[in-house]
Structure 1
Amino acid sequence: MPFRISPLAVFATFLASTSMLAALPAAAQNAAPAAPAAADAPKPPCGGDLATFLAGVKDEAVAAGVPAEIAERALAGARIDEKVLARDRAQGVFRQTFQEFSNRTVSKARLELGAKKIKDYAEVFARAEREYGVPAPVITAFWAMETDFGAVQGNFNTLNALVTLSHDCRRPEMFRPQLVAALEMVQHGDLDPATTTGAWAGEIGQVQMLPKDIIAHGVDGDGDGHINLKQSAPDAIMTAANFIQSLGFRRGEPWIQEVVVPENLPWEKTGLQPGLKASDWFGLGVEPRDGDTSHGDLDASLVLPQGRKGVAFLTYPNFNIYLSWNQSFIYTTSAAYFATRLAGAPAYDPGHPEQGLTEEGMKALQTRLDTLGHDVGKIDGILGSGTRAALQQEQLRFGLPADGWATQAVLDALNK
């Protein structure tokens, strides 16, 4: 990330190669959520004898319109990949701050290469914006963060990865439809069962897409009659634009804007929550660093990745597409910031954020919030949206600035 995207599986490989220490969430978990299944919907067949399982997949593909001989030939050499299962079981999480993560991912070299890509494919980007309303910087930032412009796409056999995750009974409802879609791609000549590789969770190409999204949103950008997201930059660019538009991107509107905040604000209103317009924030003394207040009529949230003393951003409705692409707040905010840099914005002012809690301190904070009746989800040491919201309520109760940033002072107050 069309892609359902989040090929953090592939991106994790890139991070490891650049000595980034944080483990990342699994691609499939961070992917844009699929439409919920009916509560009484039967779980797809899974497990058991592999040959029997594959015969069932073949029948399903044939019912979907794939010729029987193509489905049979594609599945003939399919096997379970134990390395895929190992990756699926060893899901990591972000434990870096926004400043740490964004500084590593939005590097000078990547910005320069991104600018070059925008210039090299100027005609394709112009066509993408004309047809789908998505500007080049938005597409390019995702392209960079997902695979480093195609350099790190993953080396797992795609068909085997999807067979493995469909046969495994953990989440067959997520992966079996992708396996059938992969067989449709074989039918179209856009996937080779023996040679097509990608991320461990089945995403393919320079913008890391799952097969169903390729079929639904794939665009032949170079006019060769095929959708080849692995090798064709025009295909990847146009497909990304089409997919981003499908997520609700609004032509001509901003997505994120760095702002300077006054010392006193209703901090409890900050975070990814609705209710205010950008003009409301401007009226409270929030000032855009670029001086542009022309979008005051748009809904806007004020996000403080590292509290009120760190960098601050207004996020606009177009920011929602980033959350659809990947549900990690740190990743999405970094990707949105990256796009603003490619569009000409300066590096953000990091400010002077207060020291955050260690992993163990975060777990202690989450445990305390849980005992107070807040739903923080899993006790994982991560300052996610649930923990931030609960924390703001407690900060407000104690008369502290309710900015959702976890510090030792907040933990001490909760433990009194």
Structure 2
Amino acid sequence: MLRTRPLSSRRVTASLLALMTSAAVAGPALAQTATPPVAAPAAAAPAAPCGGDLAAFLSGVKTEAVAKGIPAEVVDRALAGAVIDEKVLGRDRAQGVFKQTFAEFSNRTVSKARLDIGAKKMKEYASVFARAEQEYGVPAPVITAFWAMETDFGAVQGNFNTRNALVTLAHDCRRPEMFRPQLIAAIEMVQHGDLDPATTTGAWAGEIGQVQMLPEDIIAQGVDGDGDGHVNLKESAPDAILTAAKFIKSLGYTAGQPWIQEVSLPENLPWEKTGLQPGMTAGQWFALGVKPRDGNTQFGDLAASVVIPQGRKGVAFMTYPNFNIYLEWNQSFIYTTSAAYFATRLAGAPAYEARNPEAGLNDEAMKVLQTKLDAIGHDVGKIDGILGSGTRAALQREQLRLGIPADGWATQAVLDALP
């Protein structure tokens, strides 16, 4: 879980990187940029020290850690043998892009095998999940879906030395303001006996354990679920489950409320209102003809959005306030929607109805679309062939102007209609 507090980043998990590497999809796709985290800037904060001679840099880290109350001998032990990991820098510079539709990505990640294993895990650790829900209000399916999506239930946790990864990223002057505090937190974990600087491994950006958390979050939200006196997210499933539950609660999860719900849509829906934007309640959507597939309309008073990952002819979901915790966990729209859908499947929902979405645009056609939108005067950001939030918003405005259903889905017909 590549993130800081407050919310800062898009992130790439080990399992997501594996999908990007082994399952690149050509042709029409809803693309998301798989970027490393970008820390939220602190107002008037001094620049974090970075770069230069590594020994001098580590000396500065030691001074800061000691000033925070960590014994000097602990800092020395934590930093002894630290080196720059060029492979970490390579990952950080990769700026990888995966281009898969929601259907493609969700079908790969929400597999029968994962659903079966998830069901077994929820049964095996039933008492731990019961405690998680009792103490933090987070149900087992929500936690289990993240557990599966992040590391395949602990099977793929990353093999980068965590201490070296954080030293590398803190020393590098690209985003030291994010990673230097994580390095200090890792040293604190050494003090607690929860991290071995020589042997603890994880993802390339310093995330640790079965639910992939950064050191600051582990210190703030870690729970000793098995009672051994330590928070061991790598090897202890109870620790991972309860820590994830506490963290999810801290992101604003409300017990007893839904997070996402499959819906069917009428042909005359005001499509320009769709997307992750505020202003509507579920009841107002129901009044417009939106129908939950499961028939449950009891949460009509809650704020809600209708999201259509592949346009109005594809699958549709209604998202509720609890969906925001998915966006906090990972800002990739495909990942978050897939994770939320995964949780509903673990809770007993059927597979979604894929329907028959219109074909999207390939990379080059998407760049042409973005160029046209930019020429009209819309801010779509970088012309990169990616149907991101800026391009979708601009596209909806143009669709509305042209009298085309404003669902934000880029098709050849929309491209041809633009001047």
Q: Is the shorter-chain TM-score for this pair beyond 0.5, marking a shared fold?
A: yes
CA 1:139–1:299 in structure 2 vs 1: closer, same or farther (change >3 Å)? same
Residue 14 of structure 1: CA displacement? 3.4
CA 1:304–1:26 in structure 2 vs 1: closer, same or farther (change >3 Å)? closer
Residue 355 of structure 1: CA displacement? 0.5
Residue 228 of structure 1: CA displacement? 0.3
- Any stretches of 5+ residues in structure 1 without a counterpart? none
Listed one character per residue, the Cα deviations across residues 257-310 of structure 1 (whole Å, up to 9, x for unaligned) are 000111111000000001111011111111000000001010000000000000
Aligned partner letter, 1:155: N
- Any stretches of 5+ residues in structure 2 without a counterpart? 26-30
Determine what percentage of the aligned residue pairs are the same residue: 78
Residue 226 of structure 1: CA displacement? 0.2
CA contact (8 A) 1:8 1:146 kept: no
Equivalence for 1:21: 24
Matches within 5 A, 1:348-387: 348-387=352-391
Equivalence for 1:343: 347
Residue 35 of structure 1: CA displacement? 5.0
Equivalence for 1:320: 324
Equivalence for 2:306: 302
Count of residues in correspondence between the two structures: 410
Aligned partner letter, 1:135: P
SS of residue matched to 1:94: strand
Rounded Cα–Cα distance in structure 1 between residues aligned with 2:72 and 2:390: 47
Residue 26 of structure 1: CA displacement? 4.9
Listed one character per residue, the Cα deviations across residues 208-227 of structure 1 (whole Å, up to 9, x for unaligned) are 00000000000001110000
CA 1:127–1:108 in structure 2 vs 1: closer, same or farther (change >3 Å)? same
* Residue 121 (structure 2) pairs with residue 121 (structure 1): no
Equivalence for 1:136: 140
CA contact (8 A) 1:2 1:213 kept: no
Equivalence for 1:36: 41
TM-score normalised according to structure 1 size: 0.96
Aligned partner letter, 1:50: L
Rounded Cα–Cα distance in structure 2 between residues aligned with 1:153 and 1:202: 11
* 1:236 alignment partner, one of 240, 243, 256: 240
Aligned partner letter, 1:289: R
* 2:397 alignment partner, one of 393, 397, 401: 393
Aligned partner letter, 2:41: P
Residue 315 of structure 1: CA displacement? 0.3
CA contact (8 A) 1:7 1:208 kept: no
CA contact (8 A) 1:141 1:335 kept: yes
Rounded Cα–Cα distance in structure 2 between residues aligned with 1:94 and 1:6: 13
Equivalence for 2:50: 46
Rounded Cα–Cα distance in structure 1 between residues aligned with 2:17 and 2:11: 10
Rounded Cα–Cα distance in structure 1 between residues aligned with 2:297 and 2:41: 38
* Residue 192 (structure 2) pairs with residue 188 (structure 1): yes
CA RMSD of aligned residues (A): 1.6
TM-score normalised according to structure 2 size: 0.95
Equivalence for 2:275: 271
Rounded Cα–Cα distance in structure 1 between residues aligned with 2:147 and 2:362: 32
SS of residue matched to 2:382: coil
Rounded Cα–Cα distance in structure 2 between residues aligned with 1:368 and 1:329: 24
Equivalence for 1:256: 260
Residue 7 of structure 1: CA displacement? 5.5
Rounded Cα–Cα distance in structure 2 between residues aligned with 1:161 and 1:9: 15
